[in-house]
């Protein structure tokens, strides 16, 4: 059964939104900040079972992609593309899967879930695989490497 109307109203309210509360902070329980653009926050997930697993989170509280004007939509996807190039440069996956869901966290964000040589391509995607947590030193090193790569890449839309 889907959420009740009251549950969904509470979940979709900006005032109670967990992503609005902590998508911009340097570190939180789930992730750490790689970069911020005019449109998005880019974060590395703490669960690194799929090395390079990151999220691009719209800065504004918008529940569904269908609500975005074309320019903002283009900037959001440009940020996703730049994040993918960064992950590709640092983690060298075979493929990156892009997941936009939001039925539990209805604030527009895209999961970038890298698939590596050890992953079975016939298995269904599960963002909760693992979890695998790096040592604090290794996680900080991953953030630093991604930040260096982020800065080295030109913004796709010239921002």
Among 8, 12, 20, 139, binds Zn ion (CB under 5 A): 20
Could you tell me how many residues of this chain bind Zn ion (CB under 5 A)? Answer: 5
Nearer to Zn ion, 99 or 105 (CB): 105
- Nearest distance from C-beta of residue 46 to Zn ion, angstroms: 20
Window of 53-61, 63-71, 126-134, 147-155 that interacts with Zn ion by CB under 5 A: 53-61
Residue among 41, 59, 82, 107 that touches Zn ion (CB under 5 A): 107
Q: Does 24 bind Zn ion (CB under 5 A)?
A: no
At closest approach, how far in Å is the CB of 98 from Zn ion?
20
The residue number whose beta carbon is nearest to Zn ion equals: 17
CA distance 144 to 33: 10
Q: CA 88 to CA 146: how far, in whole Å?
A: 10
What is the C-alpha to C-alpha distance for residues 56 and 77, in angstroms, rounded to an integer? Answer: 9
Contact in structure between 38 and 75 (CB atoms under 8 Å): yes
Least Cα distance to 94 among 51, 134, 144 occurs for: 51
Non-local (6+) Cβ contacts of 81 within 8 A are: 156
What whole-number distance in Å separates Cα of residue 45 and Cα of residue 12? 22
Interface residue with Zn ion, options 46, 49, 61, 116 (CB under 5 A): 61
Tell me how far apart the alpha carbons of residues 159 and 157 are, in angstroms, rounded to a whole number: 6
Q: What minimum distance in Å lies between the beta carbon of 21 and Zn ion?
A: 8
Q: How far is the CB of 136 from Zn ion (least distance, A)?
A: 28
CB of 70 to Zn ion, least distance (A): 21
Binding footprint of Zn ion on the chain (CB under 5 A) = 17, 19-20, 61, 107
């Amino acid at each position: 059964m889907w959420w009740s109307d009251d549950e969904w109203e509470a979940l979709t309210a900006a005032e109670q939104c967990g992503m609005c509360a902590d998508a911009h902070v340097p570190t939180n329980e789930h992730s750490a900040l790689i970069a911020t653009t005019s449109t998005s926050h880019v974060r590395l997930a703490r669960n690194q079972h799929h090395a390079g697993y990151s999220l691009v989170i719209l800065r504004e509280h918008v529940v569904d992609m269908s609500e975005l004007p074309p320019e903002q939509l283009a900037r959001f996807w440009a940020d996703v593309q730049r994040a993918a190039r960064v992950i590709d440069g640092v983690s060298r996956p075979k493929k990156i899967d892009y997941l936009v869901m939001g039925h539990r966290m209805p604030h527009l964000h895209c999961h970038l879930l890298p698939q590596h040589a050890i992953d079975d391509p016939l298995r269904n995607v599960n963002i909760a695989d693992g979890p695998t947590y790096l040592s604090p030193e290794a996680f900080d090193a991953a953030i630093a490497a991604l930040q260096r790569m982020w800065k080295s890449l030109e913004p796709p839309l010239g921002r």
